[in-house]
Amino acid sequence: MTQTPKTSRRRLLKSAGAGALLAASPLIGRFASAQSSAPIKIGFQQHSTGIGAAYGRWYGRTTDAAVKMINDAGGINGRPVEIIAEDDGTDPKRGAEVVEKFSNQHGCDVAFGTLFSHVVIGSAPAAGEQKIPYFVVSEGHHVASGALNRYTLQPGITDVKSQVQAMAPYVSENLGKKVTMIFPDFAFGHDHRDFFTAAIEAQGGEVLEHIAVPPAETSFTKYFPKIPRETEVLYHVMVGPAVLTFVKELGEFFGPSSPAIFGFIDSLEAVDLASPGLEFLEGTYFWEGNPRYAQADQTEYDQAFRAAVGVDDNGASVSDPSDVSTYAHMFGCWETLNIIKAGMEASDYQSAADRQKLIEAVEAMTEMPESMQHPQGPKLFNGKTHQVFGVQYISRVENGRLVKVHTTSIEDTLYPDEVDYTTQSF
Amino acid sequence: MLAILEGAVGASVLALTALGLSLVFGVMRVVNVAHGEFFMLGAVVAWFVSTSIAGHPAIGFLAALAIAPLIAGAVAVLVDRLILKNVAYDPEATIVGTIGVLYILQQSALMIYGPEARPVEPPFSHRIALPWLEWGENGLAFFYPWGLSITSYKLFVIAAAISILLAFWLILSRTRLGLIMRATQMDRETALAFGIPVQRVYSIVFGLGAALAALAAVLIVPIQQAHYLMGHDPLLLSFIVVIIGGLGSVRGTIFAALLIGMSDGVISVFLSPTLSKILATLLVALVLVFRPQGLYGKKMA
């Protein structure tokens, strides 16, 4: 309370100098990347801490493995790829700052890697302002819904709307028509609520009750008495650090007398299926973006992908079997990086000045066959909506393992365009 | 029934945590913003202990029950000696100081323990289910599981919390230590004049407060999971409880914990969980307006 800050001439000069340096730094970055041998810098917005930490860890490992593969094969346009990872704390505000930092401070060519939908929605405007291509790996429908901008693309992972739409026929034919949904109370959960409800009604079924759970909730039993008695199928999707508690309490609540249960594997990503209390999941069904356990008909690509990332046949780390991966999502990082490579090569990307050419090159992409670049399966990219479509998997828990029982077609996941980003100016 | 039992589990853990906060404030006049982090510390230590001890989960759990409060208490004593003492227990400085401690503990947990949520296996857990009875068209009908379903471990948490609270009350009202603590609470200067080592009492109280939070965390961690950000909610709820109950009043704290915990359970089951949070906050506002000293608090001179 005794000192008041005084602005001396020296201090003023100092801060002016610092400001000038800061302002100059993107220029330095631009010069550096203009030289043909300089690395291509990809800013990786990583959920290292906060509620998305388990995803962030595995997105990081997958990214490293993909970059190694790309660099071993000669990099992009003869230049090595360098990943600049920044923690966003799974926080939208911090996410936007990270994107700005990539553009202004690190001189990144593109930004990439975000998963949680609220962070994507918070960061995308910053990407638009900075005019930096922003490749998200998020599953959210916000890209294809037209809510974002031309700089934001999702070419490596399918969105919730197409996923749930492809699940509804299987659920109504095999499990039941009266569904109760439990989902997290934010954008991602609302996508599930809106699109699955519509999709199951199109199949002649109905949703009896929507139970929204606040994302920071830690105890769940109090929500379960709201599940109507005549429920035939319980549809659950949950995210965050408390997912194991959620599934365990679900088991404690129902015991042996539960309805059919269909869940999105998000409820158990990075969680060992053999955890105590999860025995009741035997015989229940899960959506999987990519089967966690190596299947009988495993492709050579999946095998090589597992080996490159360091994942064993049970979907856990080869060095620590209790460190279970986020296998249903992390392939998206691998595929997205390969698309960035393909896009940069198609547009002969040299420097940040070519960013618009890169986006146009990616928008021009359509079919992506199953390959080492796309180990999850074949995909179809829609340049207008900036969203990719692909096959989805349904697995059943058998003897504590997830066994694939159904594979949808890409056609099952398609829906009419809601936006045409290509008509927007850069 | 389910609502009441769920509420009781929450209330009993909350009572322990809030009691620690209330004790520290009552005796030391220190608002411990880092209290939730001692809760987190207890849970994290419980995970370390229970995973490093092989054998039946009960052994690891019992060890955690003993070790976690000790470690949390020791850290708290250290904090008291290194930080609180040096700012002379000035109310404003201690708030800022404990905010610092909050971040130090949280980020150290992040660095050492990592960002994952990890489960601790309960020592025992049996599912107890009673059916919901309803007089229907075909006479008496049973409905599983919409009646009551709970695990034996949750019942144990309630029982354990009650016994700890009783033990604590006995210490405070029947032993010499309790007498000294109450004396310090009433009048620090006079206590000092009567030869009570106030500095040591402060350390003990601060350690005890943290240990109570850690104990509550060890009890809850087999139901929830240990996570480095888990201290936030208990801190908030503890403050709500302590404000409603009256800062420094043991009776008020326990009563308010029951009120908040039970209403949270009952309202969330029958209405919505958000509503119960709104009501709790509303209650705090009402108490602050109409009875600033809390329901059981004494008016300060």
The contact set of B with A (CB < 8 A) is: 2-3, 6, 10, 110, 114-117, 119, 121, 125, 127, 129, 143-146, 149-151, 223-225, 227, 229-230, 233, 265, 268-269, 273-274
Domains identified in chain A and CATH numbers:
9-158+331-390+416-423 (3.40.50.2300), 160-288 (3.40.50.2300)
Mean pLDDT of all residues in chain B? 79
Q: What pLDDT does A376 receive?
A: 93
The strand pairing partners of A367, in sequence order, are: A380
Give the largest Cα separation in chain B, rounded: 78
Stretch A147-161: mean pLDDT: 92
pLDDT band at A33 (very low <50, low <70, confident <90, very high): very low
A223 touches chain B (CB under 8 A): yes
- Chain B residues with CB under 8 Å of A54 CB are 115-116
Looking at the structure of chain B, the number of domains it has is: 1
Interface predicted TM-score (ipTM) of this complex, two decimals? 0.72
Cβ–Cβ below 8 Å for B145 and A219: no
Stretch B109-119: mean pLDDT: 78
List, for residues B263-298, the tens digit of each pLDDT value.
Answer: 877 777 677 767 777 887 888 888 888 877 767 666
Residue B281: inside a domain: no
Exposure string over A212-228, b if 16+ CB within 10 A, otherwise e = bbebebbbbbbbbbbbe
Q: Tokens 């080996």, residue?
A: A307
Stretch A182-190: mean pLDDT: 87
Contact partners, residue A416, CB within 8 Å, separation at least 6: none
List, for residues B47-72, the tens digit of each pLDDT value.
Answer: 888 878 766 777 878 888 888 888 88
Cβ–Cβ below 8 Å for B6 and A222: yes
The strand pairing partners of A389, in sequence order, are: A380
Q: What pLDDT does A112 receive?
A: 92
Residue B292: inside a domain: no
Q: Cα(A370)–Cα(A356) distance, rounded to whole angstroms?
A: 27
A270 touches chain B (CB under 8 A): yes
Residue B253: inside a domain: no
Task: Decide which of A348 and A239 is more confident.
Answer: A348
A329, with CB counted inside 10 A (0-12, 13-18, 19+), is buried
For residue A64 the two structure tokens come to 């490293």
- Chain A residues with CB under 8 Å of B6 CB are 219, 221-222
* Backbone phi, psi, residue A263, to 5°: -125, 160
- Chain B residues with CB under 8 Å of A261 CB are none
* Domain interval for residue B106: 12-230
Of A218, A226, A275, the CB nearest to B233: A218
Q: Scanning every residue of chain B, which has its alpha carbon at the shortest distance from the alpha carbon of A89?
A: B115
Task: Decide which of A426 and A350 is more confident.
Answer: A350
- Of A137-151, A170-184, A202-216, B184-198, the range with the lowest mean pLDDT is B184-198
Q: Cα(B172)–Cα(B168) distance, rounded to whole angstroms?
A: 6
Residue among A82, A4, A96, A97 at smallest CA distance from A43? A82
Q: What pLDDT does A31 receive?
A: 41
Kindly state the percentage of chain B with pLDDT values over 70: 86
Residue B211: inside a domain: yes
Residue B44: inside a domain: yes
Among A25-29, A244-248, A305-309, the range with the most confident prediction by mean pLDDT is: A305-309
Residue B280: inside a domain: no
Residue B116: inside a domain: yes
Residue B27: inside a domain: yes
